[in-house]
Amino acid sequence: MTKEDPPFSRIEYDSLNARQKENYNFQKLSARLADYGLNCLRLSDDWQGADLIACHIDGGRFLKVQLKGRLAAYRKYVGKDLFMAFFDKEECFVYPHDIFLETLISQGSMVATSPTWRNKGLRSWPKMPSWARDFLAPYKV
């Protein structure tokens, strides 16, 4: 290595493949959660729907977290006590999946009988809707 050949150069997120993006997002999320006293342990097999476990330094709190590329709700995660995490540009949100889903239905932002929910068991938003910002505000990390 020479002075002209620095060891570090920034990467372009969009140039990464899907697995590399997942690794990148895990590291970014871990760094953010460390500021809140949480240590992230990566899981290799989506244990109980979680990609990672975030353990608080107090030893009494553990979060099962599913890392996603966007705001979403999934039928397969209902009742699993999961938090969903995603990045919206430079902002990061970690929200309780089931409470989010209940809020969606109760405020009429999603009907449980919608075709996408009924047929695919999911609802996601490529761009965060304005109503979601209010719900997500306490879950921004």
Residue 2 has pLDDT above 80, yes or no: no
pLDDT value at residue 112? 64
Q: For residues 101-128, give the mean pLDDT.
A: 81
More confident residue, 26 or 111: 26
Burial 92-113 (b: 16+ CB within 10 A, else e): bbbbebeebbebbeeeeebeee
More confident residue, 116 or 133: 133
Average pLDDT for the chain: 89
Q: Residues with Cβ < 8 Å from 82, sequence gap 6 or more?
A: 48, 49, 50, 64, 65, 66, 96, 97, 98
Residue 92 corresponds to which tokens in the numbers above? 């990061």
- Determine the Cα–Cα distance for residues 110 and 35; give it in Å rounded to an integer: 33
pLDDT value at residue 91? 93
Q: For residues 88-106, give the mean pLDDT.
A: 92
pLDDT value at residue 119? 83
Query: In this predicted structure, which of 8-12, 42-46, 58-62, 105-109 has the lowest mean pLDDT?
Result: 105-109
pLDDT value at residue 83? 97
Query: Distances from the Cα of 92 to the Cαs of 5, 45, 97, 106, 107, in angstroms?
Result: 33, 23, 15, 25, 23
pLDDT value at residue 38? 97
- Determine the Cα–Cα distance for residues 53 and 66; give it in Å rounded to an integer: 9
The angle formed by the CA atoms of residues 40, 125 and 103, to the nearest 5 degrees, is 80
Q: For residues 3-22, give the mean pLDDT.
A: 86
- Domains detected in the chain: 13-139 (3.40.1350)
Q: For residues 18-22, give the mean pLDDT.
A: 90
